[in-house]
Structure formats: structure tokens, C-alpha cells
Structure 1
Amino acid sequence: MMAPSWVFLLLCQVALFTTVTSKRVCGRPPITGGIDESTLKRVYEVGEEVTLTCGQGYLPSTTSTTQRIACTAEGTWTQSNLACSPKMCPIPRPLQPLAMGKTEAPFKSVLNFTCDDGYVMQGANESRCLHDGTWSNPPPLCKAVSCPLPKSPTNGRIVHDKPITGTNTIYGQSWTYDCNPPKAPSYERGSCMADGSVTEPPVCRDVSCPFPEGILNGFATIAVMRPHAYKEKLKYACNNHYVLEGEAEVQCQNTGNWSTKPFCRAPCTVGIKRGRIFYNTKKLWIADLKPNRVLHGEHVVFYCLNKAEGCGYPVASTCKDGTLPIPDCFEEPGKLEYALKPKSLPSEIEMCAASPPARSTQPPRPA
């Protein structure tokens, strides 16, 4: 008699459970970013309604600033078309070049600030875009590091690049150390450094430079056979038809060496026997170039033939220290063609409307 009662009780419990759990509910409504979710519950009864609004720092992108949705009998929510966009903070104009063309930043954005070496930050090192479209902090200032005034060398003085006022210098300011003649400083330049320190003063010592060596294809214009003192100068010049490259004047330096000497660059010979060139604003037959000499850095134009178009075109070459490359496209005419048909040469026929793409040049041909 006990078993049937037990079965009946179990069936009643199952029926009761089914009855209680058959009623549908809605979970938390699905929302997009920016919607205020602080008042939303985890479970809602059928028929309950919720008013959706944009959270702090966001604006509705639709005409409606709110949206009501309801829990349906199927356990789903009615549709909502409320979309929220973050408020924007205008990027300060001085920072816009660093913002990749952007002029605004969205709510919650963070700007981090740093200063270059040698500068100290005055202000906050970050700023956040707030809900009202403003920044939490203004951009800081980067102030140059301050250094004490430099000390003069013993038996010498300091010459500042810019006038100094007050008892300090700032990062980046520089000066020159000078010693009483004929002594020279062990180093000549000093500055206010990024760590707030200044260059220690140099030692003033006796320095001289040996009698200067000559230069190839050139000579010193004024030179006495003796050592030269610190900061003494002399000049170089080149032999006839050679071009001086570099500073003509050299100076005895504090290291006991002369500053960099110049070079004398050699002239070139136009390495063709037959043809016409354009040189020094004139169109010349090569036989009329007397002497056959082009100075370093000067240009010579050769004439090439565009065989497809049947026209001529110019190609320039430059003399470089004794070498004048002949363009690859240049074809030197034979003796008969040069003597009997000179008007058929590329230099004499009609010029092309446009020159072909540039081609490489080759070393000068033997004269």
C-alpha cells in the first residue's frame, strides 16, 4: 500500500514544478555601448517596461533622447533604436600636429605628456576627456633646464653665443672658451647640458702647428718656414686650370693640427675626335674646341640619335676631377660621314620633341 502513495506524491511534485516554471521572464535587456545600465535589473516580469537613456558622457545619435522597451510574453524585449555616441573633447591646437590630423578625442580618452631631454614639466603629465567635453588638465609647459653660469678657464675668458642675463643659463645655450694669446684651450666649446650641469673649463696650454704641407696641383699663397701659432691662418690656391674645392683658408687649431685642406680638381679632355658639342653657351665642332679642355664642374652636351623617330636629342655630362664620361647613346661618326655628310649628324638634324629616358654614361674614350 505504500508504493502507490509514493508514486502519487512524486507526480504531484513534478506537476507543481512544471506549473511554477512555465511562466516566462526576460533577462537583462541587450544594450549597446554608452547606454546607462546602472538601474537595470537582472530579471524582469512579462509586461514590465524599461526606459533606456544615454549614460553620462554620451549623447543620443537619434532624435529621441530616451527609448521605452517592454518584456513580451515570449520572454524577449521589444526593439530599441537608441544609439549613444561619446561626447568629444577638442584637442588643444598646439597638440594637433601630433594627433595624426584629428581635432577631437572621444570621452574617456587620455593624453599623456612628456618633455624632451633638457626640459622640466610644469603641470600634470596626463589629461582625460571628461563627460562634459572638457579636459581634466590643460597641457603642461616644458621649461628648459637651468644651469649655473660657466667658469672661465685660468688665463682665459668665455664668449657667449647669446647675451646672458641673470645668474643662470638654460639648456641649449653655448659658448666658446678663449685663452690669452698665444695659449690655446684644450677644447673650445661648452654648453648647458640636459642634466643641469655645465662644461668644465678647459686648460690653457701652448699649441703650435707645423709648417703646412702643400696640396696636389696647388700651393700655399703665404707660408713661412716655421711653426704657426694657434689661430694663425694661411691660404691655398691651385695651379692654372685646376679648380679649388673646399675652404681656401686653413687655420691652426687647438689640437696642433691644421683645419681641413682644400683639393685642386683637374680639368677634363673631351674624348671624341669627330662630332659637335654644346659647351660654354656655344655649339662647337670638336676641332674648334681649342684647347680641348673643360674645367672641373663644367657641363658638356653631346648629341645622340633617336633612331625610331629620326631626330636628335642632347645629353649632358659633367667634368669630375679629370674625368668626363661620354654618354652611351653617343655614336662617333666615321671619317667619310663626318667629312661628306655633316648635316646628317644628330647635332644638325631636327631635335626631338622630348628626350628619351636618361641612360648611363661610360668612361671617356681615348683621344
Structure 2
Amino acid sequence: VTCPALEVPVHGIVNCSHSSAELTWGATCKFTCDKGFALTGPATLQCGSSGAWDKQPPACKAVKCEAITWLEEGFVSCEHAPTDLTYGSLCHFHCNKGYVLQGPSSVQCVAQNQWSNAFPKCKAVTCPALERPVHGFVNCPHSSEGLTWGATCQFTCEEGFAVTEPATLQCGSSGAWDKQPPACKAIQCEPLSSPENGFVDCLHGAGNFTYSTACRFSCAEGWRLNGSHLLECNHSGNWNASLPTCEASEQGTYLSVGIAATSASLLSTASFLLWLARRF
């Protein structure tokens, strides 16, 4: 008893234990498929005592991987349609702005009806923590949620110091801050000079007119101060009042006028006496 010869499946191979002319009772044939194809049906058939094979011959079906249709905070682009992701098909992963891939950027459908790697995830981009400036503070409202894309941090300074621009930084989509962090610089007022005929005495040394520096003004003898006797450098870097001046005191003015009047009176008296002497 012999069984009929078996056809080679499309995209497959059949290998029998005996030649096609000797497929007698008990002979076996094994089926395999080309790369990218998988057997549907039994892998081995045996010739029965009745001259018929014990099972229906298998076929070779193209390997297909499951469709990838969704990626949180991202998207997928494949070379073939979702229903035609056969062996060798590639799919590429992309993340939305402000997110970065964790895992492979692409996967390939392999012979075992599986993808070559586990699917990646899109993770929110984070910026590095910012250091507190010397004599200053940094406040990040979103720090509890992570310094992700769009998060802002504001810089302020201790009293007597001012922020050098910029005062606010924002986390960019690439995970870097949009500007260099600022510093806190000591507030300074314009240097003061002594008024004419006067003196100035400052709390801090010359050339160090920082915030809260106090300068006291006075005038030389015979001169009166016009304006504030005390100026202070305020938080905006300006003196709290205008520079005073020294003016001649009223006592000195009256003395000059009195001397002039007395001199004029004596001159008039002398002239009158001289006129009388000439008449007589």
C-alpha cells in the first residue's frame, strides 16, 4: 500500500522519510515554512494502512504581528497598514512635544509573530533643579509635580540686593532652561560729594554706597544747611532726598548790613562837619 505524493506548500518545504515512489504504510513527511511564514495545521503526516495520509496537509501562512495603534503622549508610524504587519514590517515611535522616548525608537515584526522589542513609553521631559543664588531665593510652583516642560521658576533677592535679568526661567521642551539663571547683586546708589562750604560723613566707606547707607551733612561756620541733613540709600538704588546745599546764615547777612550802614552813617556825619567848617 502506498500513499499519494504530497504537494509542496506555497512558501514551504516538505521532507519525507522515503522517496515519493516508496510512500508506503508508516512513511512520514515533515513540513516547514520559509522565513516569515508559519505552519497552519500539522507539521507531520503519516501514511496509513489504507493508503491515505492520517491528516490534511498544512499550509504556510505569512507571519503577522499585532497592530500597534496607540502610544500615550505620542504616535506610531508603520511601513504597512495595521492589518498587514507581516514579517519584517517596521514601526517607528514618536513622542509629543515636551516628552522623550524611553525604549527603542522602532520595532520589527519577527518570525515568532512577535515584535523584536517591548514597546517604548513617552516620558515627560524634566529640567535640572536650579540652585538658589547667593543672597537670593528661587521659587518653582510646579516643583512637587516635577520641573517638566513649561514649568517656571522665579528668582528674588534678600533686602539690599536686586536680581540681574532674567527674574523668571521656563523649562523648555528639550529639557533645558530657556535662559541662564540670574544672580543677586548688591543695590548701590550714586556716590555723594560734599556740598560747597559743607561736609558729608557716610556710614560706609567711600565708594561703597550700598543699600541702607546713611550720609549726614553739615556746613562750615557761618553757613546754614538747606535741605535734609540725612540721606539714605533706598531699595531702588536711589537716595531718599535731594543733595542739600550750604547757604550763608542770616546772622552773617545782618552783620554785613549793619557794618555797611554804620560806615555810611559815619561818612555822612564827617561830610556834614567838613561842610560846616568851610562856612565858618
Alignment TM class, shorter chain as reference: 0.3 to 0.5
TM-score under structure 1 length normalisation:
0.33
Higher relative contact order (CA 8 A, sep 6+): 2
When Rg is computed on C-alpha atoms for both structures, the one with the higher figure is 2
